[in-house]
Structure 1
């Protein structure tokens, strides 16, 4: 005989199991980002393709997944991005940096942003756009090249070798980055100055200067960057903008109990 408790707990168990399956599929989409086919996703999560497809339709309907109409590949949707950004927002570096970035943006009238290290590399998590009528659009969620951006080069300099090596080797092999010798020279300059300026590296006509942020134990917590049009923004290590950026990075690092490694 089935008890009342058994009859009510069965649907509850089914809901929990369904939530677990949906979570596993979302994790699979994140691990195979930016997009993947149904067959690869099913193989990755160890489920029948028909079952994965059924759950994907529900995730798409709720905005947690999306399908590219051209390739039919699947990826994370807007709602998943918002959840991820909310989780990132709990990091101390985001909370501490936000008011400082507002002050920096107001002082320089140039776009300023914060990036942290994500599973695909340097990831923009907060942007303060310039107040002028024409601004440079840097989107939250953008993943920047490790060796093809000032932000990425700072990460490459201060993060442990084990974290950066796979992405660095991939970019070096693709010929889209400096030579190994040039890279070592750049890293030495970044360590010496705590800044890295570039002119038109990531985007023609756009200059940028980046600085590292450190937490307790000399651990790199993020990178802040100022970007501006080359016609008006001077990107070097000696100008007033670079000095203001450097002081901002030091203030944020001090607040988090960190400092530049010796």
Structure 2
């Protein structure tokens, strides 16, 4: 009788341990994103490669991981993305910003998106697409550069320096002294106006306007950006968009109990 009682408990404990290992491997895939080799993943989690491989196969079969057939490297799969997006959906900024982005897109007929700060930097989490060409920066999950995109520069301006330090140092190494001075000018402009316009900075022929959203304590919650083709999203149109975007981010910030720091 005792054995019959203990056996199911032991089975449950083993399942719990297996689940913990699987979750640990998923976390490691996220930390090593966008992709990593089996050997590096095994080293990262401190487990034998053969054991990690068994778990990876189960994760691939369930859609939580995927393997690049060309490189054999592993990364997060579609199901993991869905879970991540569902978690992001619990964030107040996404819930509150979504209807505002719809209205902004309808008014401007330009693509509008929300980015939040992720483990790799400014990450697009919600998009309202205009009728027209889709650009690479408007895909959910896209990670934008910190110092060479309108969205990134707003994050660089208002996030705590220690949060952006590693990425800022990495990107600064590839910029000239003149470009770094330009970054400083952008930061001053963003701080004084709360909105930032870029002409073809990240992608030639693509213009963008970005503005921050703040929550209680005037903490940066995210950045809203309007992006469009330079042939249509001209300077005059961009100026109008900047005014409307600023009104939108101010309304969202007020709803979240925040305001632009002075």
Q: TM-score per shorter chain, which class?
A: over 0.9
**1:247 maps onto 2:219 in alignment:** no
Larger helix percent: 2
Provide the residue aligned with 1:36 in structure 2. Answer: 36
CA deviations on 1:160-190 (whole Å, 9 max, x unpaired) are 0001111011011123896332222110011
CA deviations on 1:57-88 (whole Å, 9 max, x unpaired) are 00000011111111111111111111111111
| SS of equivalent residue, structure 2 residue 122 | strand
Unaligned runs of 5+ in 1: none
Q: Which aligned pairs between 1:95-244 and structure 2 lie closer than 5 A?
A: 95-130=95-130, 132-136=131-135, 138-175=138-175, 179-235=179-235, 239-244=239-244
Given that 1:196 and 1:237 are in contact with CA atoms closer than 8 Å, whether structure 2 keeps it comes out as: no
Provide the residue aligned with 1:3 in structure 2. Answer: 3
Given that 2:215 and 2:259 are in contact with CA atoms closer than 8 Å, whether structure 1 keeps it comes out as: yes
CA distance in structure 1 between the partners assigned to 2:236 and 2:95 by the alignment: 28
Given that 1:126 and 1:140 are in contact with CA atoms closer than 8 Å, whether structure 2 keeps it comes out as: yes
Provide the residue aligned with 2:86 in structure 1. Answer: 86
Once the 2 structures are TM-superposed, how far is the Cα of residue 200 of structure 1 from its aligned partner? 1.0
User: Structure 1 residues 175, 12: CA separation in 2 closer, same or farther (over 3 Å shift)?
Assistant: same
User: Structure 1 residues 11, 252: CA separation in 2 closer, same or farther (over 3 Å shift)?
Assistant: same
Provide the residue aligned with 2:65 in structure 1. Answer: 65
Once the 2 structures are TM-superposed, how far is the Cα of residue 38 of structure 1 from its aligned partner? 0.8
Once the 2 structures are TM-superposed, how far is the Cα of residue 141 of structure 1 from its aligned partner? 0.6
Once the 2 structures are TM-superposed, how far is the Cα of residue 114 of structure 1 from its aligned partner? 0.2
Once the 2 structures are TM-superposed, how far is the Cα of residue 221 of structure 1 from its aligned partner? 0.4
CA distance in structure 2 between the partners assigned to 1:133 and 1:35 by the alignment: 31
Once the 2 structures are TM-superposed, how far is the Cα of residue 108 of structure 1 from its aligned partner? 0.2
CA distance in structure 2 between the partners assigned to 1:44 and 1:73 by the alignment: 14
Once the 2 structures are TM-superposed, how far is the Cα of residue 258 of structure 1 from its aligned partner? 0.3
Given that 2:209 and 2:238 are in contact with CA atoms closer than 8 Å, whether structure 1 keeps it comes out as: no
CA deviations on 1:30-80 (whole Å, 9 max, x unpaired) are 111111111111111111110000100000000111111111111111111
| SS of equivalent residue, structure 2 residue 25 | helix
Mean Cα deviation higher: 195-204 or 94-103: 195-204
The normalised TM-score by structure 1 is 0.95
**1:27 maps onto 2:27 in alignment:** yes
User: Structure 1 residues 222, 6: CA separation in 2 closer, same or farther (over 3 Å shift)?
Assistant: same
| SS of equivalent residue, structure 1 residue 239 | helix
Mean Cα deviation higher: 194-203 or 179-188: 179-188
CA deviations on 1:222-254 (whole Å, 9 max, x unpaired) are 000000110111357982111101100100000
How many residue pairs get aligned? The number is 261
CA deviations on 1:185-222 (whole Å, 9 max, x unpaired) are 11001111111111111111111000000011110000
Poorly superposed stretches of 4+, deviation over 6 Å: none
User: Structure 1 residues 173, 23: CA separation in 2 closer, same or farther (over 3 Å shift)?
Assistant: same
Given that 2:93 and 2:222 are in contact with CA atoms closer than 8 Å, whether structure 1 keeps it comes out as: yes
The normalised TM-score by structure 2 is 0.95
Unaligned runs of 5+ in 2: none
| SS of equivalent residue, structure 2 residue 167 | helix
